[in-house]
Amino acid sequence: MKFKVLTLFPENLKSSLDYGVIGRAQKKNIIDIEYINPRDYSDNNYGSIDDKPYGGGPGMVIKADPLLKAIEFAKGGTSEICPVVFLSPQGLLFNQKKAESYAKLKELILVSGRYEGIDERVIELTENAIEISLGSFVLSGGEIAASAMIDSITRLMPGALGHEMSALQDSFTEDLLDYPHYTRPELFRNISVPEVLVSGNHHEINKWRLKQALGRTYQRRPDLLEQRQLSDDETVLLEEYLEELSS
């Protein structure tokens, strides 16, 4: 998959994506990341691409012309349906399902905003534009959001993780949070690993894990369960979890 990232700080973003899962995915040619700096399309000798907002107010706004030229350059060689994602607090909420849908694409353009924002006309003039947000908070720029999206999408691609089942068991994959994990030693500071996990009974282990995932989701993210149709077995497991919690 090809990522094209528009950012004013390509070196900083690259340094965060050249390690771990994403770094290995690049070395294995599972993904390729191209960094495009809108400053290269500035119309002045200083590389300045921002100006004061019309209507007054604090901060600066990224100008339309250099950013749109950078986007048009990024779209070169891509398909007509390639999405152009603007990382913005005003965007649709990014989640696991969106990551799964993007992981099926061959290319994706990510636009990292800065300052008070970008000239709105850039979005209006860009085909297949979509605004995406990581959540109800504000960052200094879109680089962290771009990095997070690349990470979450890449780990879903075949060969990116050491074990192919890892991504299938991640939180949110089935609209559930992940179950608790344990490793050696079996007893740590007087707290033992749940007995079922050392029983060797994989049917009971899977049942326990599902129960914990359902219970955690109910306690911490009930909104996820509201959009998930529980089976009869899952309903029973959740009721058992709540009974055990109250006992």
Confidence of residue 174 (pLDDT cuts 50, 70, 90): confident
> pLDDT per residue over 123-134, tens digit each?
999 999 999 999
Say what the pLDDT of residue 181 is: 93
DSSP 118: B
For residue 47, what pLDDT is reported? 86
Active site residue 18: no
What whole-number distance in Å separates Cα of residue 89 and Cα of residue 138? 6
Q: Of 65, 131, 151, 170, which is the active-site residue?
A: 170
CATH code for 2-154? 3.40.1280.10
Q: Which candidate, 42, 91, 87, 90, places its Cα nearest to that of 63? A: 42
> Which residue among 50, 143, 155, 209 is the active-site one?
155
Band of the pLDDT at 247, cuts 50, 70, 90?
A: confident
What is the pTM assigned to this prediction? 0.86
Could you confirm whether domain 171-246 is CATH 1.10.1270.20? yes
107 given a catalytic annotation: no
What confidence category does residue 155 fall into, taking pLDDT thresholds of 50, 70 and 90? very high
Q: Do 2-154 and 171-246 show the same overall fold?
A: no
| Rounded CA separation 65/55 (Å) | 19
pLDDT in tens, 8-48: 999 999 999 999 999 999 999 999 999 999 999 998 888 89
